[in-house]
Amino acid sequence: MEIKKAIIPIAGLATRFLPLSRAVSKEFFPLGEKPIIQYIVDEMKKSGIEEIIFVVAPGQKTILNYFKRSPELEKLLIKRKKEKILKELQEFETMFEGISFSFAQQKQPLGDGHAVFQGGKKLKNEPVAVSFGDDVIDSDVPAIQQLAEIFKTCSSPVLALKSMPADKVGAYAAVQVEKIASRLYKIKKIVEKPEPGKQPSNLAVIGKYILTPEVFDYLKKAKPSKRGEIILAEVFDKMLSDGKAIYGYEINGEWLECGDKLKWMKSFFYMALKDDRFKEELRQYIKTIK
């Protein structure tokens, strides 16, 4: 089955980035010269996705304008003879032709599972890619495409995984697994933020998945956690306890996290220093900072 649709939840409060996130939605924080969301949408386009469903909070309007054409701005740039800037704008707009955008609303921040479920209301009993706005993968083969290739062989949910140092795994959801092939695992259990020494493995879950319609059946029946949220990891664990198959694939590529300020800053510098236009001068400048 071809994966042609994707859900991108961006309705979170981004409390770790307050007060900045009160004015700027986290998906528009820059990595180098581009916002986080542009890397994620570009990954979707390169993975063959034709429709993206953004899950947004009430009043979250910036995303509505970012990816659509702006004839008025183009006319202004022509009038002011800003040919170079006009060309860059037109190249950006052309980049996302052939992909459509729709929107679902998450009226309250009731967990990642709740957000994905809102986007799932726009599906028609079909598999879907999911990518959260905290995770960018820099890779030759787009991360969602890597997962979609695994899905073709198993027709079950596929979660993106990444190997982490033992002392870092406790900050993530870790998985107990049975190895099937190189980088491919059958997931046995998901442990959210395991205590030191109790990690089921050194494989952490990245916020990128291929989900089947059955996942949404479970989300519909899911009970809120003690915090009043529908947690996707708990739904996956319920499916596993019911004997359902879920697979994990260790993604090829560099995982750029944006979940807190330090991780985002590191990811910003990673992308900035990869840009051929800026990298040499930036490296020289960094050496001058004491």
Residues with Cβ < 8 Å from 176, sequence gap 6 or more?
187, 188, 189, 190, 191, 200, 201
| Residue of 181, 132, 178, 130 lying closest to 153 (CA atoms) | 181
Tokens of 56: 């947004």
pLDDT at position 96: 86
The span from the CA of 3 to the CA of 211, in Å, is 10
pLDDT at position 45: 95
The span from the CA of 219 to the CA of 212, in Å, is 11
pLDDT at position 227: 85
- Give the per-residue SS3 of 206-236: EEEEEECHHHHHHHHHCCCCCCCCCCHHHHH
* Cα-based distances in Å from 272 to 65, 82, 85, 279, 281: 25, 25, 20, 7, 11
pLDDT at position 59: 79
Which DSSP state fits 15? G
pLDDT at position 231: 92
Q: How many CA atoms lie within 13 A of 7 on its CB side?
A: 29
Helix (H, G, I), strand (E, B) or coil at 159: strand
The span from the CA of 54 to the CA of 100, in Å, is 11
pTM comes to: 0.92
pLDDT at position 226: 84
- Give the per-residue SS3 of 235-264: HHHHHHHCCCCCEEEECCCEEEECCCHHHH
Give the position of tokens 């050496």: 287
Instruction: Please list the residues that pair with 256 across neighbouring strands.
Output: 136
Name the CATH architecture for the domain at 5-155+206-245+252-288: Alpha-Beta Complex (3.90)
pLDDT at position 256: 96
pLDDT at position 170: 86
Helix (H, G, I), strand (E, B) or coil at 180: strand
Provide the residue-wise pLDDT of the chain in tens; the chain has 290 residues. 789 999 999 998 888 998 998 888 999 999 999 999 999 999 999 999 999 999 998 878 788 788 888 888 888 999 898 989 999 888 888 888 889 999 999 998 899 999 999 999 999 999 999 999 889 999 999 999 999 999 999 999 999 999 999 888 888 889 999 999 999 999 999 988 888 888 899 999 999 999 999 999 999 999 998 889 999 999 999 999 999 999 999 999 999 999 899 999 999 999 999 999 999 999 999 999 98
Burial 49-65 (b: 16+ CB within 10 A, else e): bebbbbbbbeebeebee
